[in-house]
Amino acid sequence: MSIHSEGVLSGKRVASLGAWLVLSGMLLLPGHGIAQLVTLTDAGSAATVDLGSSAGMNNWNVLGQNQLMQQWFWYRTDNGIAQPINTIGGLQYQVTGNNTLDAYYQNDQLSIEIVYKLTGGGVGSGNADMIENINAMNLSGSSITLNLFEYSYFNLLQSGNNSVTIFGNSDDGYNYVRQTSGSTAIQEGIISPNAGHAEAAYFNQTLNELNTQAGLELNDNPSAGSGNVTWAFQWTQEIGADMELNVLKDKNLSIEMVPEPSTLAIIIFGAGALGLALRRKLS
């Protein structure tokens, strides 16, 4: 396990990491000049995350083939143009056991922490799972309205012939998406809270909106394809001083078969338990 820092840890963050070090019985020292490209590996699967740019998680390899082009997060706290979370600055990160990444960004207004946990299905299985836990805390001293966006661009089988469907609605929220190319699928279940808006589109409509459109709200279009498709979620929440928004979700990548809804429910239930355990360990 190693930690890499590009800035000074806040007192609250030092206390949190210190508690973890006591529990783990391991000493973590700051790294110097460490690259911001991190690769996670587990049981026949590998995923790469570029923490220093909006490329974000840009490679997820199963059965020797990359299925992912870009998956990352944008945010805004006013009616301006959303910014990728790496622009917050103050990057610190640590990798545990080759398959878990904890990345943390902080400025005077906001901190955002992302925990990725990769679980491979085994060499040759064609399956892998990724839990993502995103925690955003208001450090500004007064209430803010945070808009957090997740943007995902998968190209399953590198075919450019994918279809995507988002499930839910703008009244009750969106909590599930499935993208397919034949029997190959990527599925994401939002454990909590549901997203207020979502958008399925053809590349690169949503990415252009994120980077150019002030006050963006996703258009709630539930499907796109077949073709070169993308999907996105948006969470909007007013956060008081020293309060937080916590998003927990799970991705399942299946190259050989599409899990039945009952199987996905079991996956999401298990991810929720594991995500809570990760939160306790990191707090």
| Cα 166–Cα 169–Cα 175 angle in degrees, nearest 5 | 55
Residues 133 and 118 sit within 8 Å (Cβ to Cβ): no
pTM for this predicted structure: 0.81
Instruction: Of 13, 95, 2, give the one whose Cα is nearest residue 49.
Output: 95
Cα gap 189→175, rounded to integer Å: 6
Domain-embedded: residue 206: yes
Domain-embedded: residue 137: yes
What 8-state DSSP symbol labels residue 88?
A: G
User: Splitting the chain (283 residues) into consecutive groups of 10 residues, what average pLDDT does each group show?
Assistant: 46 39 32 67 98 97 95 97 98 97 98 98 95 98 97 96 97 97 96 98 98 98 97 98 97 74 54 58 52
Domain-embedded: residue 251: yes
pLDDT at 17: 39
pLDDT at 34: 45
pLDDT at 28: 34
- Structural domain total, the chain: 1
pLDDT at 272: 60
Cα gap 95→88, rounded to integer Å: 20
Domain-embedded: residue 24: no
Domain-embedded: residue 208: yes
Between strands 229-239 and 144-154, the pairing is antiparallel
Q: Is the peptide bond before 30 cis (omega within 30 degrees of 0)?
A: no
Provide the domain limits for residue 152. Answer: 37-282
Instruction: Of 119, 123, 97, 100, give the one whose Cα is nearest residue 44.
Output: 123
Supply the CATH number for residue 259's domain.
2.70.98.40
What 8-state DSSP symbol labels residue 194?
A: P
Cα gap 175→159, rounded to integer Å: 26
